[in-house]
């Protein structure tokens, strides 16, 4: 293949990818609704609202979780259980999503052992009894009850 | 199929290790970019695949990328560096290797030059890595998936061009394929 042609292909490809990235970024940011400072988007079966961690009645949360390396870690922080946030409604699962779109599912019978730990500006989901840290969602940004 | 020489095998082994451990080095920078874009990753993966590209485009042997991906998978399993993918982490290493092999084969058939081959190989491998991670862990949909994929492909293309520069610098010490 001619060298000049290959250089043209490289430049055009890079520009096209940059354009695609920029367009997708604009669409993605456009979809994120404007939220109060530090608030978590809460969607309970279609009803949308905001959860402001600073206004929650936090309780002491103690227990043991397993970190990414398989080591046990003791938790003794302020937080609130998912059961208190969601209430006594009938649902299948709760999807807790972080700011970087990492998400975890919590099922109906687990809401009493799933807590949102509030530390300064960061809200973290922990589910006691898990054998790994896959459901330890750091920087919770949205909670959707399905 | 030509047998790989000891020199080539050593380069493959070195690039396997670099691909795994250099990802940690670039983590702060890649997290800055992905944090800004609100996506789970894509930048570090493209950088780590750059070393596979250097080895596989510099020493073109059929199946080399897949083999290197497999070896990387075994290394991360034995070292316990599987991250959130857990026991399915090998899939996230082997699939990009296979994608890179297919692209390199196509580019050799079309007699493409090293920069274009390296760019396409790294770009497609990055896209394959992101799609496999999405399938196993993230489950992203819609615009966020498109953003994740396009970011990975862009940085994959850029890292592929860096790989071609490295191949050019290593030229006195490595054999380049007959198309170049």
Kindly report, residue by residue over B33-56, the tens digit of the pLDDT: 888 888 888 889 999 999 999 999
Name the helix (H) or strand (E) containing B61. Answer: none
The dihedral formed by the CA atoms of B148, B149, B153 and B156, expressed in degrees to the nearest 10: 60
**Is a pLDDT exceeding 80 seen at residue B3?**
no
Of B40, B144, B150, the CB nearest to A17: B150
The residue of chain A nearest to residue B114, with distances taken between CA atoms, is: A6
What pLDDT score was predicted for residue B48? 92
User: B127, B119, B132: which is closest to B149 by C-alpha?
Assistant: B127
Dist CA B104 CA B62 (whole Å) = 9
Express as a percent the part of chain A with pLDDT over 70: 93
Structure tokens at B44: 């570090």
Which positions in chain A touch B150 (Cβ < 8 Å)? Answer: 17, 20-21, 24
Q: How far is B84 from chain A (nearest CA, A)?
A: 6
ipTM of the complex: 0.81
Given this model, what pLDDT does residue B177 score? Answer: 46
Chain B CB contacts of A70 under 8 Å are 80
* Amino acid B175: pLDDT: 55
Residue B130 has pLDDT above 60, yes or no: yes
Residue contact A28–B143, C-beta within 8 A: yes
Residue B80 with chain A: CB contacts under 8 Å: 69-70
What does each C-alpha distance from A99 to B4, B38, B40, B46 come to in angstroms?
A: 46, 6, 9, 22
Ramachandran region, residue B168 (left: φ > 0; alpha: ψ -120 to 50; beta: rest): alpha
Identify the pLDDT of residue A44. Answer: 85
pLDDT at B180 over 60: no
Answer whether A14 sits within 8 Å of B154, measured CB to CB: yes
Mean pLDDT of chain B: 87
Q: Is the pLDDT of residue B164 over 60?
A: yes
pLDDT at A134: 81
pLDDT of residue A32: 63
Q: Which of B35, B83, B154 lies at the smallest CB-CB distance from A17?
A: B154
- Tell me if B150 and A100 make a contact (CB, 8 A cut-off): no
Residue of B30, B147, B149 best to disrupt the A interface, most CBs of A under 10 A: B147
Buried b (16+ CB within 10 A) or exposed e, B77-105: eeeeebebbeeebbbbbbbbbbbbbbbbe
| DSSP for A56-104, written as a single string | S--EEEEEEEE-TTS-EEEEEEEEEEHHHHH-S---SEEEEEETTS-EE
pLDDT band at residue B157, thresholds of 50, 70 and 90?
very high
Does the structure show a pLDDT above 80 at B84?
Answer: no
pLDDT of residue B155: 94
What is the predicted pLDDT for the residue at A37?
A: 66
Indicate yes or no: CB of A10 within 8 angstroms of CB of B153.
no
Cβ contact A28:B141 at 8 Å: no
Contacts 24+ apart (CB under 8 A), A57-62: A58/A118, A61/A115, A61/A117, A61/A126
User: Could you tell me which residues come within 8 angstroms of residue A13 by beta carbon, excluding any fewer than 6 positions away?
Assistant: B119, B123, B157
pLDDT in tens, A8-20: 989 999 999 999 9
Q: Which residues of chain A have pLDDT under 50?
A: none
CB within 8 Å: B138 and A103: yes
């Amino acid at each position: 293949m001619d060298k000049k042609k290959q250089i043209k292909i490289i430049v055009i490809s890079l520009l096209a990818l940059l354009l695609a990235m920029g367009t997708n970024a604009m669409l993605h940011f456009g979809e994120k609704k404007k939220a109060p400072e530090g608030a978590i988007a809460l969607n309970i079966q279609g009803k949308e609202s905001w959860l402001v961690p600073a206004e929650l009645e936090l309780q002491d949360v103690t227990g043991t979780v397993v970190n990414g390396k398989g080591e046990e870690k003791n938790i003794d922080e302020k937080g609130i259980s998912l059961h208190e946030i969601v209430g006594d409604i009938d649902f299948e699962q709760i999807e807790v999503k972080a700011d970087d779109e990492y998400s975890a599912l919590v099922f109906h019978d687990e809401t009493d052992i799933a807590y949102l730990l509030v530390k300064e500006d960061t809200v973290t989901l922990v589910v006691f009894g898990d054998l790994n840290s896959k459901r330890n969602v750091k920087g919770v940004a949205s909670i959707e009850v399905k | 199929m030509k047998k790989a020489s000891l020199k080539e095998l050593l380069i493959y082994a070195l690039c396997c290790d670099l691909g795994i451990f250099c990802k940690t080095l670039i983590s702060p920078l890649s997290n800055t970019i992905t944090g800004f874009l609100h996506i789970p990753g894509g930048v570090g993966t493209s950088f780590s695949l750059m070393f596979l590209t250097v080895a596989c485009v510099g020493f073109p042997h059929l199946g080399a990328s897949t083999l290197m991906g497999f070896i990387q998978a075994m290394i991360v399993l034995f070292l316990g560096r599987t991250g959130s993918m857990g026991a399915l982490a090998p899939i996230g290493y082997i699939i990009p290797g296979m994608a890179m092999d297919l692209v390199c084969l196509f580019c050799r058939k079309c007699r493409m030059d090293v920069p274009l081959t390296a760019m396409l190989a790294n770009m497609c491998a990055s896209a394959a890595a992101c799609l496999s991670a999405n399938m196993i862990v993230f489950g992203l949909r819609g615009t966020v998936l498109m953003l994740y994929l396009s970011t990975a492909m862009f940085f994959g293309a850029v890292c592929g061009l860096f790989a071609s520069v490295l191949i050019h610098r290593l030229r006195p010490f490595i054999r380049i394929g007959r198309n170049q």
